[in-house]
């Protein structure tokens, strides 16, 4: 299952990340169909390098015409943010049934602040750190004014065409994978952090 495989690899490589976006909203119990996996990362060079190692394992490739190794260079990423206004770094697999992975590189909520308020679900032995509902709402408010219960983002014509170009079997395989992961994760043990400390 792509989601568990991705989160397992991130855990094995000790990547500091948080699940945000539609997958996180689902894991908080608000049903939402999503077409990608949105993550926040600590943007230091070491963590970016560990993330790039994970991306290679799948293999995920940048949507923009840059080398994947460039994403491990914190100075280059800072330049993309400053000079090009980059908000997210998107990665895709050659497998059409694999969701796109979007890395938020300029979130309104700083990573360390969101990390201190994370929710941790342990799904089949894999610790999956999720942004808190409050932080997801702050991230979303920066992108559009809709409340979390109406959580959505604009789906582009290109994304719709890509989805429809997939075979019906690939579309169903992806949907079933997302459904199974959401059910597993919602039933998993939950640990909530406040100011970096686990709450009982």
pLDDT over threshold 80, residue 142: no
pLDDT over threshold 70, residue 160: no
- Tokens encoding 149: 């219960």
Question: How many angstroms separate the CA atoms of 68 and 49, rounded?
Answer: 10
Flag the least confident range among 88-92, 177-181, 190-194. Answer: 177-181
Structural contact between residues 36 and 101, judged by C-beta atoms closer than 8 angstroms? yes
Question: How many angstroms separate the CA atoms of 131 and 22, rounded?
Answer: 11
Question: How many angstroms separate the CA atoms of 57 and 190, rounded?
Answer: 28
Q: Which helix (H) or strand (E) holds 36?
A: strand 36-41
Average pLDDT estimate for 69-81: 91
pLDDT for position 150: 40
Q: Would you list the domain boundaries of the chain?
A: 2-198
- Tokens encoding 168: 């019906």
pLDDT for position 151: 38
Residues 88-128 pLDDT 10s: 999 999 887 788 999 999 899 999 999 999 999 888 899 99
Average pLDDT estimate for 145-167: 51
Taking the model in full, what pTM does it have?
0.77
Beta bridge partners of 19: 39, 130
Question: How many angstroms separate the CA atoms of 160 and 158, rounded?
Answer: 5
Query: What architecture (CATH level 2) is domain 2-198?
Result: 2-Layer Sandwich (3.30)
- Bin 84: left if φ > 0, else alpha if -120 < ψ < 50, else beta: alpha
């Amino acid at each position: 299952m792509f989601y568990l495989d991705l989160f397992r690899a991130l855990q094995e490589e000790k990547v500091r990340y948080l699940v945000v976006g539609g997958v996180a909203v689902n894991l908080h119990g608000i049903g939402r169909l999503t077409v990608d996996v949105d993550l926040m990362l600590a943007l230091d060079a070491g963590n970016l390098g560990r993330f790039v190692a994970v991306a290679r394992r799948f293999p995920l490739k940048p949507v923009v015409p840059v080398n994947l190794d460039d994403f491990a260079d914190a100075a280059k990423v800072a330049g993309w943010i400053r000079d090009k206004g980059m908000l997210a770094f998107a990665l895709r697999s050659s497998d059409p049934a694999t969701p796109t992975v979007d890395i938020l590189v300029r979130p309104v909520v700083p990573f360390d602040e969101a990390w201190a308020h994370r929710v941790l679900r342990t799904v089949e032995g894999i610790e999956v750190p999720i942004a808190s509902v409050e932080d997801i709402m702050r991230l979303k408010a920066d992108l559009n004014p809709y409340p979390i219960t109406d959580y959505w983002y604009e789906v582009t014509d290109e994304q719709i065409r890509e989805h429809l170009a997939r075979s019906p079997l690939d579309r169903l395989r992806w949907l079933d994978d997302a459904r199974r992961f959401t059910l597993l994760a919602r039933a998993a043990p939950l640990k909530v952090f406040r100011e970096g400390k686990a709450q009982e």
